[in-house]
Amino acid sequence: MKIVEQYLRAIGSKLPWKSRKDITEELRSLLIDQIEATYGEEPTEDEVKSAISEFGAPGKVAARYKGDRQVIAPGLADLYFMIMAIMAGAMLIAFTTMFIVEVLQDWPAGANLARRILIVPLNAFSAWLSGVGALTIVFIVMSRISRRTVDLEEDWKVEDLKDVQVGNKVESRLESIFSIAFLLVLIMLMNLYPSIVTLAENTFAKSGLPLGHRIVIEVFRRYVGVLTVLWAAGIVIRVLVLQKGEKGMGLLWTEIGLSVAEASLAGIMLADRNLYADTGGWIGFKVIFLIVLVVNLAEIGGGLFRIVRERIVGKETH
């Protein structure tokens, strides 16, 4: 019966590849059972068509076998949309900043200025779309992993609550959102417009304060790749904090590791003589790198202190 085979092929084309053959064969047997039971062993073509029609539309039949397939796990959906919104804001800030930098450098006027203004939201939207694509891939992977490891309906136990932080241990949501947006802006600016560093130096020099050195942009560009990786890692940590609402031991250690990497890089950048021209003192980006080094060292200390404190508190409560 050709029409039965056509119907089964239509269903099969909508089924997952790995179970397609088995389901189609089972459906063939079931459909013929039904046709024979209703119309006898030699049904007319109209009767077969009627039986197929009663069996249902191919898409609906296939959908019942596939179940509810969700691209992003329901538990991650809110976070996904929040990061999408943060990215939109960050892209707008980054491209507006770049626009201001360009305007301060070139002082465009008339049609040129109007064109540049128009390009700001277009570029921001285009960059946001690319970011959303990458974000979606990350969340699809996270959804697959979380589906395999955690079943909120079935595997949940009251004992799971023992690691949930309450009171002043709960991480600030606003701080995480701000950090993600700030790091995104940094990544965008430094990758698309590394000479913003020179512009900052020129602005500083105009203030009349003595500038001890200048950054060699060609050398600085080599560091941008490493900085991007570290900032991206920082974003991942902040996203995980947003998702969990707390920093567990794993996240604390990861954050300390990242601070060690950032402090090391700041140290290397401070020591790299090729990175600076007109070396005549510390005033300039060296001070910023030094602040980054000190802040990261403080964060390493703070993180280690927090781990030790939580271990002690943990022992006391057990």
User: Cα separation of 251 and 307, whole Å?
Assistant: 11
Q: Using an 8 Å Cβ cutoff, are 4 and 48 in contact? A: yes
The least CB distance from residue 294 to other proteins, in Å, is 57
Beta strands at 214-215 and 276-277: parallel, antiparallel or unpaired: antiparallel
Segment interacting with other proteins (CB under 8 A) among 32-40, 93-101, 157-165, 176-184: 32-40
Binding other proteins (rule: CB under 8 A), the pick from 6, 13, 29, 279 is: 29
- Return the number of the residue (56 or 108) whose C-beta is nearest other proteins: 56
Q: Is residue 175 part of the contact set for other proteins (CB under 8 A)?
A: no
Q: Is residue 163 part of the contact set for other proteins (CB under 8 A)?
A: no
Cβ within 8 Å of residue 259, ≥6 positions away: 296, 297, 299, 300, 303
Binding other proteins (rule: CB under 8 A), the pick from 5, 16, 26, 141 is: 26
Site string for other proteins, 41-60 (x = CB under 8 A): --------------xx---x
User: Cα separation of 187 and 194, whole Å?
Assistant: 10
Binding other proteins (rule: CB under 8 A), the pick from 1, 32, 217, 251 is: 32
The CA-atom distances, in angstroms, between 197 and each of 90, 186, 211 are: 19, 12, 13
Using left for φ > 0, alpha for ψ between -120 and 50, and beta otherwise, residue 56 falls in left
- Return the number of the residue (151 or 218) whose C-beta is nearest other proteins: 151
Q: Using an 8 Å Cβ cutoff, are 146 and 75 in contact? A: yes
Q: Is residue 30 part of the contact set for other proteins (CB under 8 A)?
A: yes
The least CB distance from residue 22 to other proteins, in Å, is 8
User: Cα separation of 149 and 126, whole Å?
Assistant: 35
Binding other proteins (rule: CB under 8 A), the pick from 2, 18, 64, 318 is: 64
Q: Is residue 267 part of the contact set for other proteins (CB under 8 A)?
A: no
- Return the number of the residue (51 or 235) whose C-beta is nearest other proteins: 51
Q: Using an 8 Å Cβ cutoff, are 185 and 97 in contact? A: yes
Beta strands in the chain (DSSP E): 214-215, 276-277
The least CB distance from residue 54 to other proteins, in Å, is 9
Binding other proteins (rule: CB under 8 A), the pick from 39, 65, 99, 253 is: 65
Binding other proteins (rule: CB under 8 A), the pick from 17, 18, 37, 206 is: 37
- Return the number of the residue (67 or 167) whose C-beta is nearest other proteins: 67
Q: Is residue 27 part of the contact set for other proteins (CB under 8 A)?
A: yes
Closest CA to 245 of 171, 138, 163: 171
Binding residues for other proteins, rule CB under 8 A, total 17
Q: Using an 8 Å Cβ cutoff, are 98 and 193 in contact? A: yes
Q: Is residue 151 part of the contact set for other proteins (CB under 8 A)?
A: no
The CA-atom distances, in angstroms, between 231 and each of 160, 236, 247, 261 are: 32, 9, 18, 11
- Return the number of the residue (30 or 268) whose C-beta is nearest other proteins: 30
Write out the residues near other proteins by the rule CB under 8 A. 23, 25-27, 29-30, 32-34, 37, 55-56, 60-61, 64-65, 67
